[in-house]
A = this chain, B = another copy of it.
Amino acid sequence: MPIYTCTTAEGTLTNDAKASLAAEISKIHSAINHVPPDYVNVVFTELPTDNVYVGSEPGTPVLISGWARRGHPQPDVTRLALEVSKAAATITHKSEKQVLVVIDDSPARSAVEHGSVLPEPGDEANWQRRQHPA
């Protein structure tokens, strides 16, 4: 259900780092937001070094923007952002000073996956049963 976009300057992430970070974000999001891991989308946008600025200067941050359904308890969303930041620093061998994680939100009913409107936070299990009836 979520989309995470990781934006970096080219050369910041190896292919292994991308695969590991995608796996780790999927694991963290799935555990905290009650979403099966195979509904977590993670994409990497790698830009020329001339195209990434921090404080007016070319920089090499790891910028991670996630989108999740509005209405998850705020402490869970905060924990999600903290854990993703920590994972990104560990996997990329960077200091967390180089990492920014933002979780954006909009209503579940403003999103459609597999042709169905997304469930409200807390109603994931019913939604999945409706998607894959026994």
Taking CB as reference atom, which chain B residue is nearest A85?
B112
> Of residues 42 to 82 in A, which have CB atoms within 8 Å of B's CB atoms?
42-47, 50-56, 59, 61, 63, 65, 67, 74, 77-78, 81-82
A117 CB contact (under 8 Å) in B1, B39, B56, B78: B78
Copies in the complex: 3
The number of chain A residues with a CB under 8 A from chain B is: 63
Minimal Cβ-Cβ distance residue in B for A75: B109
Please report whether the interface of chain A is mostly helix, strand, loop or mixed according to DSSP. mixed
Residues from chain B with Cβ under 8 Å of A41 in the complex = 52-54, 59, 61, 63, 100
Which positions in A face B, CB cutoff 8 Å? Answer: 1, 3, 5, 7, 15, 18-19, 22-23, 26-27, 36-47, 50-56, 59, 61, 63, 65, 67, 74, 77-78, 81-82, 84-86, 89, 96-97, 99-107, 109-115, 117
